[in-house]
Structure formats: structure tokens, C-alpha cells
Amino acid sequence: MTLSSAVAPRSKLPDVGTTIFSVIGQLSAQHNAINLSQGAPNFPCDPLLVESVSRAMREGHNQYASMLGLPALREVLAEKVLGLYGRDYDAGSEVLITGSASQGLYMAIAGLVHAGDEVIFFEPAFDSYAPVVRLQGATPIALKLQQPDFAINWDEVRAAITPRTRMIIINTPHNPSAQVLSDADLAQLAALTRHTDIVVLSDEVYEHILFDGRRHCGMATHAELAERSVVVSSFGKTFHVTGWRVGYCLAPAALMEEVVKVHQFMMFSADTPMQVGFAEYLRNPHTWLSLGEFYQRKRDLLAQALGDSPFRLLPSAGSFFMLASYGHFSDESDSEMVKRLIVDHGVATIPLSAFYTDGTDNRLIRLSFAKDDATLLLGAQALCQVLPR
């Protein structure tokens, strides 16, 4: 029985309903579809990490951590970033442990963007960016990445910047296109933001998943950009524990101060035993340095298995996704194609139009290879049976 309400709420997001991700999840469950859609591993994490967290619980680390996060974890993160990217963040004021990378993104936008501001971001995009900007009374400005390589057109960015531009949101490696920024991109971004008050919010949750010898070009690798950037990353994506919901932010102290103001009222501190476990686990650099090789093997396994399919695969430079094109053999919309794949072939993917605010349809679907090998091979086998329509 559904209860009625005496109050008719005035929605802040009236056009936001059930996402395509939920719809696909429900349809996939109905048809017991092979899951190549969700960006979450279906294989276990390292038992040593589980034991570290379990031991932390047994030893009584079950109460609030300090607001910024466990000091030992912040210190090891600062050491890691300095060693990898050359940026020396102060563990006491410039590193924040968050309850997921999503929370970090929300807090950065909420703390630094004001009503009437404009925020530039790039589509296809992670679906939370625009709604969170709108919740602040600000305006999201979507610029489309250039196909076929999904590159940023910096001339378009230059033209889009106005006196109201407060933030530019960057995502590298990029979900869903699986492309990455280069040193040349960073130079362009630095030039465009120089002598402005524009903040860069950099979503770098796949920072350790790059392929074919590529180097991560995050904001911490560029001294000028680091001074105006909030970097958000994820323990869940790195260590195959997306359900633990722990991430972190890096930012200069002046920016971090505003992010922390939101954090203290949003959740105050992230899960303590997980922080204890990560602080211990991060002492071994192999835990993240081997990640690119691990996922590159999965990328190549899926690509090889799809060799006889009708789909054309786009290059995947990073993350655990790849895009597949089908416009050469079908004029179905990407949502129709995804539903056909679930119902007729028992395999779930994601339509790329879900990552555009205007529903742009380029006849592309997203595949996730964050799966065990058996799932990847079964999914590929099903996709190889797809017939033109």
C-alpha cells in the first residue's frame, strides 16, 4: 500500500527520474543477462585487504575517525602522490578521506560553486555532474567531446568561458569513452585558466588504469594546474571494492577548506575500519602499480573474443571500459540495441546516450571488462551471435 502525502514537494530536479542504469539493471535481472554493463568488478578483492579491515574491526577501530580522515592514511596518500606525480600535498590540510569519490565530487561542487555560476563539463559524462551543479543554483555547460577520438576541442572551451565560469570538470581516464588526457591537454587547460578564478575539478578515479605504456596526466602532475584543482579519486575502483564507498580529495589548503566545510555536515568522517585497512595496504606499491597490466589483459581478452562479432571496437586507453559501434549494421537507437541485446541475447551493456544530457545517440554502446574471464568470454560469445537488423 502506498501512502499519500499532505505535502506536494517542489522538486529541485523535476526532470530526473529513474536512470537508464536502473532500468537496464532491472531488465537484466529479469532475463538473467550476462553483466557487461556495470562498472564494478564481479571478482573478489585481495584477501589481505579484507583481513586488514576485519582485523581493524576486531581491534576496536569502529568509532569516528578524525574529520579529515585517519592521519596514517592521509600520510601514506601524500607520500604516494609525491612519488608518482611530484606534487607535495600537506597531509594535515590538503588531503581529505571521503565516503566515496561521488561524495568528493558533490562536496567540491557544493563548496566552491555558487548560485548563478557556470560549470563547464564534457559529454559524454558521468551522470552526476550536471544534477549536482544544478542543485547549487548554478548552470552546467556541456561541451561535446570530438569523435571519433573523444578529444577536447580547446577552442570550444575558450569560447564557452564567460565571467560567470567558476569551474571546469575534467575526467581522466574518461568514463565512458576510455580516453585519457595528454600533456598537451594540460598545457591548454593551464593556459585557458591562467589569471582567472576558475577551479578545476578533476575526476581521476581510474588514475591507475592506463594501457599500452601511457602515463597518467592528472592535475597533480602539472604544478600550475595543481594550484587551482580539486582532485578526486577512489579506493573502490583501485582495489576492486566499489561497495566499500571510500575515496579521497586532494587540493590546496584554501580550496580544501571550503570542501571540508561541506564534508563536516555531510558525513563528518569516512568509515574507520576501511581507512585502517587501506593505510596498511597502501604500504605495498605493487597493489596499484600492477593495475594497468591487470586490466589491459582483460581489455585484450574481451577485444579478441569479440573479433568475430559485428561490432567495431573503439580504442580503450584507460579505465575498465570500451565502446562498441554498431551503426554500420543497424539503425536502431542505442537504447533499443541495448534492450535487444538483453532480451534476445542475454547480455547487458549501456547505451552511450545515457551519458548525454540531450540524449545524443551515436550508435555506440559501452562495455565493461571489470569482470572475471569467464563472464567476459560468455558475454563476447553472446555478442558474436548478434545479427544485422
Q: What is the pLDDT of residues 295-348, one digit of tens each?
A: 999 999 999 999 999 999 999 999 999 999 999 999 999 999 999 999 999 999
Position 6 pLDDT exceeds 80: yes
Cα angle 19-22-375, degrees, rounded to a multiple of 5:
130
Report d(CA 209, CA 362) in Å as an integer. Answer: 26
Report d(CA 61, CA 265) in Å as an integer. Answer: 22
Residue reference for cell 573503439: 314
Assigned CATH class of 49-283 = alpha beta
SS3 content of the chain, % helix, strand, coil (to 5): 40, 15, 45
The pTM of this model reads: 0.96
Write down the pLDDT at residue 5.
79
pLDDT in tens, 175-205: 999 999 999 999 999 999 999 999 999 999 9
Instruction: Tell me the sheet residues that pair with 232.
Output: 203, 249
Superfamily (CATH) of domain 20-39+289-383: Aspartate Aminotransferase, domain 1 (3.90.1150.10)
Average pLDDT, the chain: 95
CB atoms within 10 A of CB 35: 20
Which residues of the chain form CATH 3.90.1150.10? 20-39+289-383
**In the structure, what pLDDT confidence band is assigned to residue 1 with cuts at 50, 70 and 90?**
low
Which residues of the chain form CATH 3.40.640.10? 49-283
